[in-house]
Amino acid sequence: KNQVEQSPQSLIILEGKNCTLQCNYTVSPFSNLRWYKQDTGRGPVSLTIMTFSENTKSNGRYTATLDADTKQSSLHITASQLSDSASYICVVSDRGSTLGRLYFGRGTQLTVWP
């Protein structure tokens, strides 16, 4: 069964600290993995997208890694800011169709305290 599991479910950190969010998946055949940020009451916004051949990709203070062998990805946030408080969703796409079916994780709810 194709699944995407994220951990932790929620996380609280102090402003300025770093944190790492985890994503494990069983989706096969794998096409690409995306990380989205969803602010409360808003739609998700894409942070990064990685294919099988990419191990790491950065977007400002966000760095995503991908290990396609172990089917794991992480999202590292450096020097956190209050505006980083949001849900971070891992999404994996398969290669089963031209649409590329998407499998969503339940997200990690990050809260950054001042």
Pick from 32, 59, 63, 78 the residue near other proteins by CB under 8 A: 32
66 is a contact residue toward other proteins (CB under 8 A): no
56 is a contact residue toward other proteins (CB under 8 A): no
Neighbouring residues of 99: CB distance < 8 A, sequence distance ≥ 6:
none
Pick from 18, 100, 111, 113 the residue near other proteins by CB under 8 A: 100
Residue 73, class by beta-carbon neighbours within 10 Å (0-12 exposed, 13-18 middle, 19+ buried)?
buried
**Contact residues for other proteins, defined by CB under 8 A:** 4, 9, 31-32, 34, 41-46, 49, 51, 89, 93-95, 97-100, 102, 104-107, 109
